[in-house]
Chain A
Amino acid sequence: MTEREILLKKISTYKFAIIDIQLFLDTHPDDKSMLNKLNEYKKTVTPLVREYETKFGPLKKSDENNNTWLWVKNPWPWDTEDEK
């Protein structure tokens, strides 16, 4: 795996945990311990996303672009290698 893929896998692992907890909370909205867990994972993933976006380009379109529109940059999620 490339450095990009390793970092992205880490991010998607935390983001998946967040999605799964959020879905659990839809039917258990008052579960304090899961709410705490959710906030903990959100805090952990934020610096990882920042690191990824600085190195490899945006994951969401809301990010700042100065000289060039980085959103178009390869690879897209279904690409298998870091194509130019």
Chain B
Amino acid sequence: MFVYEKQLQYPVKIKITNPALAKLIISQYGGPDGELGASLRYLSQRFSMPLPELKATLTDIGTEELGHLEMIGAIVYQLTKDLNEKQIKEAGFDQYFVDHTAGIYPSSAAGVPFTAAYIESKGDPITDLHEDLAAEQKARTTYDNIIRFCDDPDVLDPIRFLREREVVHYQRFGENLRLLTDKLDSKNFYAFNPSFDKACFKKARNRKL
């Protein structure tokens, strides 16, 4: 189950309205490499993970991503909450505004609505962990791209925090992959699915799955 804590993982306090920047940052809410996809990806993949360390990592990172989704929502909300019509037009925010006003809607920067097609849950831990490693790097690049367009220190600060978390998560997923392959017969890494073909685990260290 999940319990809500009435607190952001890292504080967000933005003073200057900036709808043009909000339009870019919304991509990390519901875009192809955004936090919504990240949380759904890990929280879905964890069910078929064969080792306890992997179940724990995917549960905890998936949960943390929900906290990041909330932070991105707070950033976009604060960047747009005191908008006037002139700012909306000048920033090109009118296309978002006409459908969502200043509400927070999961879409990409280009306005494409969120879709589960952004994620995969393949039921093979080697495949899924490779996707997770790639996902963290894609999210990191997206944050790097956001930073290129961002000169407000109040926005940069939480964005840099989120970027750093992608790097840490990448490290943890790398350790997950290592933990898994260490327990497999090295001849069989890609000949079997460790979640489906249980015989591929080394006999000497075969654990209760």
Contacts and interface: CB of A to CB of B under 8 A. Distances in A.
* B is bound to A: yes
Interface of A: 5, 8-9, 11-12, 15-16, 19-20, 22-24, 26-29, 57-62, 71, 76-78, 80
Contacts of A61: 3-4
B42 to A, nearest CB: 12
Interface stretch (B8-16, B94-102, B197-205): B8-16
Interface in B45-78: 53, 56-57, 60-61, 64, 70, 73-74, 77-78
30 contacts: A5-B11, A5-B13, A8-B7, A8-B11, A9-B11, A11-B7, A12-B7, A12-B9, A12-B10, A12-B11, A19-B9, A23-B64, A24-B172, A26-B53, A26-B56, A26-B57, A26-B60, A27-B57, A27-B179, A57-B6, A59-B5, A59-B6, A59-B7, A61-B4, A77-B70, A78-B8, A78-B73, A78-B77, A80-B14, A80-B15
Given A9-B11, A19-B64, A26-B60, A78 B78 contact: yes
B175 interface: yes
A48 B91 CA distance: 42
A23 B168 contact: yes
Which interface residue of B3, B13, B70, B78 has the most chain A CB atoms within 10 A? B13
B176 interface: yes
A23 B9 contact: no
A22 to B, nearest CB: 6
Contacts, number: 71
Interface residues of B, number: 30
A62 B159 CA distance: 31
Nearest to B15: A80
Contacts of A80: 13-15, 78, 81
Interface string B147-189: 0000000000000000000001000100110010000000000
A56 B61 CA distance: 29
A24 B14 CA distance: 31
Given A5-B11, A29-B53, A77 B3 contact: no
Contacts of A16: 9-10
B72 to A, nearest CB: 10
Contacts of A12: 7-11
A61 B6 CA distance: 9
Contacts of B60: 19, 22-23, 26
